[in-house]
Amino acid sequence: MGESYGRYTIADDESIMKYIDACNIACGFHAGDPVVMDKTIRLAKQHKVEIGAHPSYPDLQGFGRRPMSVPVDELEKMVRYQIAALMGMSKSLGAEVKHVKAHGALYNKASEDRPTAEAIAKAVKSLSKDLILYAPYLSIQSEVAEEHGLKVHHEAFIDRAYNEDRSLVSRQQPNSVITSPIDAWTQVESISKRGFVPTILKKEVPLKANTFCIHGDNSAAIEILEYIRSEQVQ
């Protein structure tokens, strides 16, 4: 959430907030700005949605989805800066940041690269040991966070296709983004009830999660969320 910027609007945050329990708010490095952050925090508070910081590489042009080479000591400070900004904004509005989830290319890199995962864990821990880190199941990011004494919520994706190694299929590949509500619900059910996720090659690999992510900039996000909520109450 909060990925609009200046005159540019990304996603219908107000509609999406009605269907979610927690949100990851952009902190200005891949999207978002002070005005958008303020508006999104207020919106989350209104709908009683848990607030999380969504730090990224400094990549507005690429929406944080391009790999970057950043020295780990600088990266730790960048991540700490972003989380601190959202924590300060939230506190000023009577809200609290509960978790942290890295965005895009940073999230993917931290899942497989220990120095990157260390930078994120150190940044989170330096601000509050009570912050929960969202990370993929059996990832280096999850392992490092637990080594630092952080609480981890294993995350899976509602609207992204998986490879056999549990990584996400590149957005450059066809069928990498799930837009069918039925397919999205099937993936959620498979992970939550059976502990397996279907892969892009129609195989199954073990995957556990206690939080599910959907991207606000997915054009089918609201349709998918409406369908999932309707299936949950049946």
Question: DSSP of 20-40, one letter per residue?
Answer: -SEEEEE-SSSS--HHHHHHH
| CATH code where residue 207 lies | 3.20.20.370
For residues 32 and 27, give the distance between their C-alpha atoms in angstroms, rounded to a whole number. Answer: 6
Give the pLDDT confidence score for residue 232 in this predicted structure. 75
* Count of positions (residues) in the chain: 234
The closest of 45, 25, 24 to 35, measured between CA atoms, is: 25
Q: Is residue 4 part of a domain?
A: no
Residue 65: φ, ψ to 5°: -105, 10
> Is the pLDDT at 233 greater than 90, yes or no?
no
Q: What is the mean pLDDT of the chain?
A: 96
**What global pTM score does this model have?**
0.94
Q: Is residue 2 part of a domain?
A: no
Contacts of 189 (CB under 8 A, 6+ apart): none
% the chain with pLDDT above 90: 98
Give the pLDDT confidence score for residue 47 in this predicted structure. 98
For residues 159 and 210, give the distance between their C-alpha atoms in angstroms, rounded to a whole number. Answer: 16
Domain that holds residue 119: 13-232
The closest of 99, 91, 89, 150 to 125, measured between CA atoms, is: 150
**Could you report the per-residue pLDDT of 77-100, keeping only the tens digit for each?**
999 999 999 999 999 999 999 999
Give the pLDDT confidence score for residue 59 in this predicted structure. 97
Q: Is residue 124 part of a domain?
A: yes
On whether the CB atoms of residues 168 and 157 are closer than 8 A, the answer is: yes
Q: Is residue 139 part of a domain?
A: yes
Which tokens go with 18?
């009605």
Q: How many domains does the chain have?
A: 1
Q: Is residue 23 part of a domain?
A: yes
The closest of 142, 54, 40, 157 to 98, measured between CA atoms, is: 54
Q: Is residue 158 part of a domain?
A: yes
Give the pLDDT confidence score for residue 231 in this predicted structure. 87
**Could you report the per-residue pLDDT of 171-191, keeping only the tens digit for each?**
999 999 999 999 999 999 999
Return the DSSP state at 159.
S
CB atoms within 10 A of CB 154: 17
**Could you report the per-residue pLDDT of 59-73, keeping only the tens digit for each?**
999 999 999 999 999
Query: What does the pLDDT average to over 46-71?
Result: 97
Q: Is residue 174 part of a domain?
A: yes
For residues 62 and 31, give the distance between their C-alpha atoms in angstroms, rounded to a whole number. Answer: 10
Per-residue confidence at 234, pLDDT binned at 50, 70, 90? Answer: low
Q: Is residue 195 part of a domain?
A: yes
CB atoms within 10 A of CB 127: 17
